[in-house]
Amino acid sequence: MGIRSYQRKFKRMNRRELLKLAPVLALGAFAIPKFQEPLLKKGLAFSDWVSARMFRKGHLATTFADSELTPFPKFPINGYDVDDPQVDFDTWTLTTGGSVQEPGEYTLAQIQTLPKFRQNTRHVCVEGWDVIGRFGGARLSDYLNMIGADLNAKFVTVECADDYYESLDMETALHPQTLLCYEMYDQPLSRVHGAPVRLQIPTKVGYKQAKYLTDLKVTNVLKRVGYWEDQGYSEFYGL
Amino acid sequence: MQEAVLEIMSEKGDTVTTAVYEHPLVVRLCHWLNAISLFVLAGSGLQIFRAFPSFGPKVPQHVLINWPKAYAIGGWLGGALQWHLTFMWIYLVTGLVYVGYQLFSGHYRQVLFVPKDIRGLWPMVRYYFFFGRKPPVTEAYNSLQKQAYTTAIGLGVLSVLTGLAIWKPVQFSWLAWLMGGFHYARIWHFLVMWAIIAFVFGHLVMVVLHGWNNFVSMLTGWKKNPEYGPR
């Protein structure tokens, strides 16, 4: 064989090696509009699946000294719609239903008969900012026990006075730091921060911590996940 | 397994072409998949940053950089997070496979920067930046390259750890604590990204300077007419 045929052989070998990189082109599917959305949804769902596996029910979020608190006036007020949905405190109840033995209308006074817990924890927003706040309220797990909730159900869902809605996995709902929060910085929760009762969950990102609760349900089926989740945000987003 | 060195000789016995098989398929696949994911992660990361372009308090908010939307990926925060949380897995897996392969195959010895490489750094810096004489090429990677590639792997590890501290500051509170808490982990993650971008910039300049054969070797594995003697 002459040099030429060796060089041709070398070229062919190079071409074969180049073709072996074809799997890289598979990523091109992300550039095709038709495949892009379902692929990204799958990626996000996988991340959520890993997140749920990472969650440890006994592991507590870090708590902070009073000196580390963000001053109350600098605690951001984040609403998606209105800051104050004009809740009438005199008639307010938490409408409770779903897989519970004692569904009904629960008043703030009834929630406040449960042991009160106070915690200085970090609030992390999906946007990237974080603050350390002081929160007080009843453990959601105590409330779920009081209403005789089926603790083997998968989700706790809430609805809010501003038409916001959210859902929580049962493991997080039963976490000892997950509060039905009615106090901030040792004062009754203010309207703009979600009075009379909001969720406060140091193991979740901010948007899962719904304000101005009106309804709470224990369920195995989610018709909708949450206001932001249904627009494409992470469903689990545990910290 | 292909032979690692190839020589094509003329009838008179002169070598016409030599080639070295420099980059096994697994390395090439990891390189390109990782490069694409890095591009997507930086672009979507900057879109995520746009949601709160500050490292100070939220109230009042001081905007650090108004990063233009045109140089970001995802369109909005939720979209960018989808890209970021999808491609981070490709980035992680290709990074792990690459490092695992290098260790397993022993090829890391070619490229890992070790103390004896310190001696060779200054001559290379002098050559590249101060018109110094070109040091003799004795290995596949010179000491400055080893330093750059070893640093890049270190930055890759840091990008994953700082990212994990932001994504899971409660489950990995010790990691976030090491970085000074969630707030500082976010700053570190941002800085590590710029360091990686600086590496990529230098890497691309070198690719251009070193010509076509060098570039092709990352596609086909074979480098034609290498500067160093094939072993």
At residue A20, does pLDDT exceed 80?
Answer: yes
Mean local confidence (pLDDT), B124-133: 85
User: For an interface test with A, which of B25, B40, B85, B177 has the most A Cβ atoms less than 10 Å from its Cβ?
Assistant: B85
Residue A127 Cα, gap to closest chain B Cα (Å): 5
Question: What pLDDT score was predicted for residue B3?
Answer: 52
- β-strand A94-98 against A213-219: which pairing, if any? parallel
Chain A nearest C-alpha distance from B44 (Å):
12
Q: How far apart are CA B206 and CA A144, in angstroms?
A: 63
Question: B134 pLDDT exceeds 90?
Answer: no
With H, G, I as helix, E, B as strand and everything else as coil, classify residue A127: coil
CATH number at residue A156: 3.90.420.10
Would A116 be classed as within a structural domain?
yes
Cβ <8 Å between A10 and B177: no
Asked whether residue A41 is assigned to any structural domain, the reply reads no
For residue A148, being part of any structural domain is answered with yes
pLDDT digits (tens, 9 = 90+) for B91-127: 999 999 999 999 999 888 888 998 888 888 888 888 8
Question: Within 10 Å of residue A73's Cβ, how many Cβ atoms?
Answer: 6
Q: Any idea which of A184-188, A228-232, B14-18, B212-216 has the lowest mean pLDDT?
A: B14-18
Inform me whether the C-beta atom of residue A66 falls under 8 Å from chain B C-beta atoms. no
- CB distance B168–A54 less than 8 Å? yes
B207–chain A Cβ distance below 8 A for any pair? no
Q: Is A182 inside a domain boundary?
A: yes
Taking CB atoms and an 8 Å limit, are B83 and A41 in contact across chains? no
Task: Decide if pLDDT at A18 tops 50.
Answer: yes
Best residue in A5, A9, A21 to probe B by mutation, most B CBs within 10 Å? A21
Give CA–CA dist B130/B124, Å, rounded. 9
Distance of CA A203 to the CA centre of its chain: 8
- DSSP designation for A61: P
Alpha carbons A80 and A164: distance in angstroms, whole number:
8
CA distance B166 to B172: 9
Query: How far apart (Å, rounded) are the C-alpha atoms in residues A132 and A120?
Result: 7
Q: Sorting pLDDT into bands at 50, 70 and 90, what band is B229?
A: low
Residue of A nearest to B12 (CA): A3
Find the CB nearest B85 among A14, A17, A44. Answer: A44
d(Cα A228, Cα A207) in Å, to the nearest integer? 7
Mean pLDDT of the region A96-116: 96
Which pLDDT score is estimated for B2? 44
Per-residue confidence (pLDDT) for residue B230, from 0 to 100: 52
Predicted local confidence at residue A214, as pLDDT? 96
- CB contacts of B212 in chain A (<8 Å) are none
The upper half-sphere exposure of residue B7, i.e. CA atoms within 13 Å in the direction of its Cβ, equals 9
The tokens describing A39, both together, are 């692929």
Q: Is the pTM of this model over 0.95?
A: no
Which 3-state string (H, E, C) describes B94-130? Answer: HHHHHHHHHHHHCCHHHHCCCHHHHHHHHHHHHHHHC
Contact at 8 Å (CB) between B127 and B138?
no
What is the mean predicted confidence (pLDDT) over A225-232?
95
Residues 102-131, chain A, touching B (beta carbon < 8 A): 122, 124-131
B146 shares contact with chain A (CB less than 8 Å)? no
Domain count of chain A?
1
3-state secondary structure of A2: coil
Say if residue B34 is exposed, middle or buried (CB neighbours under 10 Å; 0-12, 13-18, 19+). buried
ipTM for the assembly: 0.92
Joined together, the tokens standing for residue B206 give 């070198």
- Whether A115 is covered by a domain: the verdict is yes
Q: What pLDDT sits at residue B1? A: 35
> Does any CB of chain A come closer than 8 Å to the CB of residue B183?
yes
Confirm whether A181 is domain-assigned: yes
Report chain B residues whose CB lies below 8 A from the CB of A76. Answer: 58-59
Name the residue facing B182 among A27, A39, A122 (closest C-beta).
A122
Cα separation, A21 vs B96, in Å, equals: 19
Residues A180 and A115: beta-carbon distance below 8 Å: no
Strands A198-200 and A213-219: unpaired
Minimal Cβ distance to A21: which of B32, B51, B183: B32
Among candidates B51, B61, B86 on the partner chain, residue whose Cβ is nearest the Cβ of A40: B86
Output the pLDDT for position B140. 77
- Residue B206, classed as helix, strand or coil, is helix
The pLDDT value given to residue A1 = 57
Would an 8 Å CB–CB cutoff place B70 in contact with chain A?
no
Is A179 inside a domain boundary? yes
SS3 B41: helix
The residues facing A60 across adjacent strands are none
Query: Residue A117 — very low, low, confident or very high, per pLDDT cuts 50/70/90?
Result: very high
Identify the pLDDT of residue B20.
Answer: 85
Q: Do B9 and A59 touch (CB under 8 A)?
A: no
In a domain, A192, yes or no: yes
Is A198 in a helix, a strand, or coil?
strand
**Higher per-residue pLDDT: B65 or A49:** A49
Nearest CB among B54, B59, B78 relative to A233 is that of B78
**A6 in contact with B, Cβ within 8 Å:** yes
Phi, psi of B206, deg, nearest 5: -65, -40
Per-residue pLDDT at B228 exceeds 80:
no
Q: Which domain holds residue A103?
A: 58-231
Distance from CA of B35 to the nearest CA of A (A): 10
